[in-house]
Amino acid sequence: MVTESPRHAPVMVEQVVNALGVESGGAYIDCTVGEGGHSAGIMAAVEPPPRLMGIDLDEEALSTAKRRLGEGVTLVHGSYIELRRLAEVHGFLPADGALLDLGLSSLQVESPERGFSFMREGPLDMRFDRRQELTARLIVNEYPERELAALIHELGEERKSRRIARAIVRARPIRSTTELAEVAARGAGGGRRRGIHPATRTFQAMRMATNSELENVERGALSAIETLRPGGRLAVISYHSLEDRLVKRILARQASACVCPTGMPVCACGHSPSVRLVNRRVIRPTDEETAKNPRSRSARMRVAQRI
């Protein structure tokens, strides 16, 4: 789908610009450029604008970003897990700042043919990168029940994971998003829990598994740290607790002088910190922003500075 104007409202743009300490003459990397909302904010923050590279797996989002940001910005179709190599190839090594805005964009959720939404009838796709072979359809229809239950439990933090996995296996083949939503809701016993649709967590798990999201976040954050100059900043925005806990753990480990297992009488790891944590408490959107953009409600930002 080609969109003329961006659909996605970027979250905490001002806080991102401040966290990265954007300066003219700096080189910044938007590792999840999407439709370019944060990148546009970074470019508009100072005059003359800094150098900027944007990376995304989603070609459709990149084409909107290209129209929005113009020729001066380097846009790359690829994964942030390769950040250091991409930065080197495109002349952004070392970088002054990097942003990881995790999760998915409104453009993706609102496009039924991408298969991300349980409210819109579409194929079970859920790939950020449409060149990838693994789709949600394959996971839903071919993974063994135990593996499905484990994914729904771990990535969806869904208490009724086993019942949902059983319902999915019995209902195979499942072809569409709305079919999966119905089966998952039935498996979970129907009805909304804490205000969310009963298929929400199953969909989150299928999306995260399709795109290897947790594994990628870890690889991406480590690659981003390696890409920064000393004093350069990394900002990471996450949208649910599982992601945020992982980001917190990765940054804390990188900031720590010792990563020995607890209980070791003396340090034997030889680890040296590569970052310092800029904010111990997460940065959250203002009430004004959450009133305007309800999707921002769950956003949490953590910032680290390369030593």
Which residues contact ligand SAM (rule: CB under 6 A)?
Answer: 8, 10, 32, 34-38, 55-58, 61, 79-81, 101, 103-105, 128, 211, 216
Nearer residue to ligand SAM within complex by CB, 132 or 256: 132
Nearer residue to ligand SAM within complex by CB, 30 or 182: 30
Least Å from the CB of residue 96 to ligand SAM:
18
Least Å from the CB of residue 112 to ligand SAM:
17
Least Å from the CB of residue 61 to ligand SAM:
5
CA dihedral 265→266→270→276, nearest 10 degrees, is 80
Q: In angstroms, rounded to a whole number, what is the distance separating the alpha carbons of residues 83 and 100? A: 11
Taking the mean position of all CA atoms in its chain, how far away is CA 255?
21
Nearer residue to ligand SAM within complex by CB, 129 or 145: 129
Q: In angstroms, rounded to a whole number, what is the distance separating the alpha carbons of residues 195 and 50? A: 43
Nearer residue to ligand SAM within complex by CB, 60 or 182: 60
Q: In angstroms, rounded to a whole number, what is the distance separating the alpha carbons of residues 57 and 40? A: 19
Least Å from the CB of residue 240 to ligand SAM:
12
3-state helix, strand, coil in the chain (%, to 5): 45, 15, 40
Least Å from the CB of residue 135 to ligand SAM:
15
Least Å from the CB of residue 104 to ligand SAM:
6
For 109, the 3-state DSSP assignment is helix
Nearer residue to ligand SAM within complex by CB, 256 or 293: 293
DSSP letter (8 states) at residue 276: E
Which tokens in the block code for residue 102?
């995790």
Closest CA to 86 of 130, 31, 40: 31
Nearer residue to ligand SAM within complex by CB, 65 or 167: 65
Least Å from the CB of residue 287 to ligand SAM:
21
Tell me the residue type at 224: A
Report the 10 Å Cβ neighbour count for 252. 15
Nearer residue to ligand SAM within complex by CB, 104 or 183: 104
Report the 10 Å Cβ neighbour count for 249. 11
User: Which residues does residue 51 pair with via DSSP β-bridges, in sequence order?
Assistant: 27
Q: How many CA atoms lie less than 13 Å away from 91 in the CB half-sphere?
A: 6
Tell me the residue type at 151: L
Nearer residue to ligand SAM within complex by CB, 36 or 285: 36
Least Å from the CB of residue 260 to ligand SAM:
31
For 190, the 3-state DSSP assignment is coil
Q: In angstroms, rounded to a whole number, what is the distance separating the alpha carbons of residues 205 and 287? A: 29
